[in-house]
Each structure stands twice: as C-alpha cells, then as structure tokens.
C-alpha cells in the first residue's frame, strides 16, 4: 500500500518494522561509498595494456612525424584529434586536444571569458549580474565552477527529453546577462536523460540576446552506452550550429577519462574555427602543448572509433549488471510504497532518485549513520540547495555487485524511514512518532 494512503497506525507499524531493519543493518558496520562516478578497479583493468603502447622500444613519433617527447603541438597530434573527433562525431580540425581533464578545459575557457571576453565581447568579470543556466538536477562540479566565477546560477528543469527548451529559449532571448548554459547532452548527470534530436536542434537554433552566450556541451558520456546495440548517436551540435548560422554558439567537450584511466586520459574541446583560433591565441601563452606521449598512448590503444566502441562495450558489460541490480532493488523495495521515483538510464554513470519532498537530506543522513555514503542531498542543484529537498544521485559504478546489494537495501530503508517521518509529522504532528525516531 502506498504510504500516502496509510492510516496513522499503519505508518507507525511500518516505521517500527523498518527501524528494526535499519538497526540490523547498522550492526553490520558497513563502510561503502556510492557517492562519486568513479570507474571501478575492474574497469581500470580493461585499459591496463594501454600502458605498454608507449614503451622504450616504441616509435615515439606521431603520424605527422612529430617527436612526441619534445615541446610543441598546441593542437594535439593528428591521431589524438581524430580519436576525439570520432568520439563526438565532428571533424578532427574542429578539435583541440587538452590535458587529462575536460573539466580543466571548461575552467580555462571560463577564465579566458572572464578576463578577456569572447570574440571581442566585454570580459565577463565586467558583467556584474552575469548568469549561467543550470539544468536541474545536474552536475555539481559544473555548477560549482560557475558559482566560483561569480555567476548567478539559474535553474532550468530537466524534462524527459532534455532541459525545458521553452524556458531556455525565452530566458536567453530576454536577458543579455545570461552568458551560458551547462549541458550534458547524452546520459545527463544525474538523470541519464539523452537530449532528443528536437532539443539538440533547438539548442543550435537559440537566438540569445548576448552575442557571447555559449553552450557548454559536455559530451562526457558520448560513448558510454550500457546497451550499445540500442544506442543512437546524438546529432552533431557543431554542424547544427553551423547550419543555423551560429557556428560560434557552442564549445563541446569530451575525454577518454572514463574510457581509459580517469586520472590519465586525454580531453578535447571542439568548436568553430573562430572559437579555436581565439583559444589558441590565448593558450599559446599558457603552455607549449599538452602531453603528446599520452596522446600517442591513447590513440594507439583505441586505434579508431570502432576500437573505442568495442572497448566501451567491455565497460558496459561491467556496469550494466550494477545498474540493473540497483534498479531491481529500488523496484522491489519501493514500488509499492510510493516513497520515491527514479530514472532508468541507458548509459552514463548515474541514476537520479527523487524522494518525497523534504526527505532527501534525511535519507542521506540516515544512510551515512549506517556506514554508506551517498552524494550529499542538494548536490545536484546550484549552490547545493535543492528547494524541494528531493533529489539524490546514485553512483553504482565504483562499488562491486556484492557491495551494491546492502548499500541499496539500506538506501531504500532510509528512503522509506524519511518518508514515514515526513508523512507522520504531516498527519499528526511529530509527537507520536518522535519517541521512535532514529536520532
């Protein structure tokens, strides 16, 4: 029976039953972490052989004859540009290869926009009421970065096919202080939503009041399908922007972090010729080029887009059972209670879970007390404040299947306990239940 339909007595009985289950789990001394989207040790093993691709016996020149050990090559070596272009479906000449982190590329572009402005525009640090659109729930590190740079963060609801485009179109048309929007277009963090073709097209056809408005298109999970055979490629945003007459509207990001090694992959930014020329003009002051030996290592290991996809299928084989197990437990434990709802993504690294309103923080707190760490409630919202206190991001990748079982069982217990506390206090005041409430 759904909790919302239970009598006060039934709620209390349910709470007592679940409290006992909670105490029992607490006794187990769990020490588990489902908080961050880290690949598991088994996934890292998939790329171990990459470390042999560049050894003391290797040819250390790239295909264009560059000695990858020495200085130079701001753009990246041709085979690395081709690899990343193949990942996102653009042309190699549209890509600049970065270091081991696409996040750093985003940060560097924002720094540049703050200090210099984009393509002749006013430096953003001189726009005191600067704003950035943040689809919610979304990625905490995106939001934190623009918060750090002094942007007001404007939440935009995620719908099942992408951000609410009616709202996005209206906001950017009306307000020139809105300078950008964060997007994870495929398997969005944390909802797992894949932007529909229609939504991608509407992004490319945005007509922002700010000439220097930019879409930060973080295609972090472009090849991270859980069901590769059913996966559909996303339309190429760069081509669509060109066709719409706004080639400079977007910076697209990708990396091999979750294909190879999270700490030692290569990243890339794809953009229009004008945007890339500007980035080169600035970055030539900052570096004599990223690590080309690592580019060589990655390019030789994956070989080409087909090789990369075959490799990602092996990642999927490790990840899929974990996602399916989490979803099965959620369904088994929660479907009848109505205490929560969740997404069932076909790729990426996260499941987005909604508790009843006002129950997310309490749920995470209860889990933590019993030894299982989840992403802090609110993390998926700008400045860490979820106005409804509902959303929790589940990250099943790092834990083993054996660890997922107790962790998610505990989670569903806590979701229900928090729901019951909330419903009971709504119905009868907190007095009755308070005596039994878990501290």
Cβ closest to a copy of itself, residue 73 vs residue 208: 73
Which phi and psi angles does 315 have, rounded to 5°? -60, -45
Minimum distance from residue 393 beta carbon to a copy of itself (Å): 16
What are the DSSP calls for 253-278, one per residue? EEESTTTS-TTS--EEEE--HHHHHH
Bridge partners, 341 (sequence order): 354
Closest alpha carbon to 360 in 394, 400, 397, 322: 394
Q: What is the end-to-end Cα distance of the chain in Å, rounded?
A: 26
Contact call for residues 68 and 78 (beta carbons, < 8 A): no
The least distance separating a copy of itself from the CB of residue 124, rounded to whole angstroms, comes to: 10
| 192 DSSP 8-state letter | -
Q: Which is nearer to a copy of itself, 40 or 337 (CB)?
A: 40
Smallest separation, CB 75 to a copy of itself (Å): 13
Of 359, 327, 352, 315, nearest to 140 (Cα)?
Answer: 352
Max CA pair span of the chain: 78
Q: From the CB of 255, what's the least distance to a copy of itself, in Å?
A: 11
Minimum distance, C-beta of residue 55 to a copy of itself, in the bound complex (Å): 5
Q: From CA 320, how far away is CA 331, in angstroms rounded?
A: 16
- Dihedral angle sign, alpha carbons of residues 135, 223, 38, 364: positive
Using the minimum distance from each CB to a copy of itself, give the nearer residue, 32 or 414. Answer: 32
* Angle separating helix axes 360-369 and 401-428, nearest 10 degrees: 130
Looking at the Cβ atoms of 44 and 244, the one nearer to a copy of itself is 44
Residue 331 or 385 with smaller CB distance to a copy of itself? 385
Which positions lie near a copy of itself, rule CB under 8 A?
36, 38-39, 41, 44, 47-52, 54-56, 58, 67-73, 99-101, 103-104, 107-108, 111, 114-115, 123, 125, 141, 144-145, 148-149, 257, 261-264, 282, 285-294
In angstroms, give the least distance from the CB of 54 to a copy of itself: 6
Query: Please, what is the minimum distance in Å from the beta carbon of residue 262 to a copy of itself?
Result: 4
Residue 142 or 346 having the CB closest to a copy of itself: 142
CA proximity to 266, closest of 275, 276, 254, 278: 254
Sheet holding 214-218, edge to edge: 95-97, 267-270, 250-255, 214-218, 178-183, 131-136, 152-159, 162-163
Quick check: 308 and 260 in contact, CB under 8 A?
Answer: no
Q: How far is the CB of 100 from a copy of itself (least distance, A)?
A: 5
- Continuous segment of H or E residues that includes residue 155: strand 152-159
Contact between 343 and 352 (Cβ < 8 Å): yes
The CB-of-423 to a copy of itself minimum distance in angstroms stands at: 39
Minimum distance of a copy of itself from residue 271's CB (angstroms): 19
CA distances for 53 relative to 47, 48, 62, 223, 261, angstroms: 11, 10, 13, 22, 14
Q: Smallest distance, Å, CB 290 to a copy of itself?
A: 7
* DSSP bridge pairs for 340: 355
> Whole-angstrom Cα distance, residue 103 to residue 113?
15
Beta bridge partners of 215: 181, 250
């Amino acid at each position: 029976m759904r909790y919302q339909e239970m009598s006060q007595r039934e709620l209390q009985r349910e709470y007592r039953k679940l409290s006992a289950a909670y105490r029992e789990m607490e006794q187990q001394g769990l020490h588990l972490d489902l908080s961050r989207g880290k690949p598991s040790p088994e996934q890292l093993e998939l790329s171990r052989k990459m470390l042999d691709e560049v050894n003391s016996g290797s040819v250390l020149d790239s295909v264009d004859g560059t000695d990858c050990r020495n200085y130079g090559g701001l753009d990246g070596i041709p085979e690395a540009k081709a690899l990343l272009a193949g990942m996102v479906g653009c042309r190699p000449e549209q890509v600049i290869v970065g270091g081991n982190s696409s996040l750093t590329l985003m940060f560097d572009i924002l720094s540049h926009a703050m200090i210099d402005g984009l393509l002749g525009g006013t430096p953003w640090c001189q726009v005191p009421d600067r704003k950035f659109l943040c689809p919610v729930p979304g990625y905490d590190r995106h939001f934190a970065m623009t918060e750090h740079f002094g942007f007001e963060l404007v939440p935009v609801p995620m719908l099942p096919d992408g951000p609410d485009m009616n709202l996005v179109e209206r906001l950017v048309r009306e307000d020139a202080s809105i300078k950008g929007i964060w997007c994870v277009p495929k398997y969005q963090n944390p909802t797992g939503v894949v932007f529909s073709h229609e939504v991608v097209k509407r992004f490319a056809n945005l007509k922002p009041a700010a000439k220097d408005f930019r879409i930060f298109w973080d295609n972090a999970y472009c090849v991270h399908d859980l069901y590769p055979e059913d996966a559909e490629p996303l339309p190429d945003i760069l081509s669509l922007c060109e066709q719409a007459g706004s080639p400079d509207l977007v910076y697209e990001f990708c990396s091999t972090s979750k294909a190879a090694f999270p700490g030692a992959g290569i990243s890339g930014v794809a953009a229009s010729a004008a945007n890339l020329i500007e980035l080169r003009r600035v970055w030539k002051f900052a570096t004599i080029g990223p690590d080309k030996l690592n580019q060589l290592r990655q390019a030789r290991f994956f070989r080409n887009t087909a090789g990369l996809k075959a490799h990602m299928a092996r990642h999927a084989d490790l990840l899929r059972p974990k996602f399916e197990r989490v979803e099965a437990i959620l369904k088994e434990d929660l479907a009848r209670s109505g205490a929560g709802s969740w997404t069932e993504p076909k790729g990426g690294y996260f499941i987005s879970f909604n508790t009843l309103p006002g129950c997310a923080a309490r749920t995470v707190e209860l889990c933590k007390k019993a030894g299982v760490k989840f992403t802090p409630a609110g993390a998926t919202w700008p400045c860490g404040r979820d106005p409804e206190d509902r959303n929790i991001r589940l990250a099943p990748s790092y834990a083993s299947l054996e660890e997922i079982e107790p962790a998610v069982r505990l989670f569903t217990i806590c979701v229900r306990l928090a729901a019951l506390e909330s419903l009971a206090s709504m119905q009868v005041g907190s007095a009755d239940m308070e005596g039994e409430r878990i501290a």
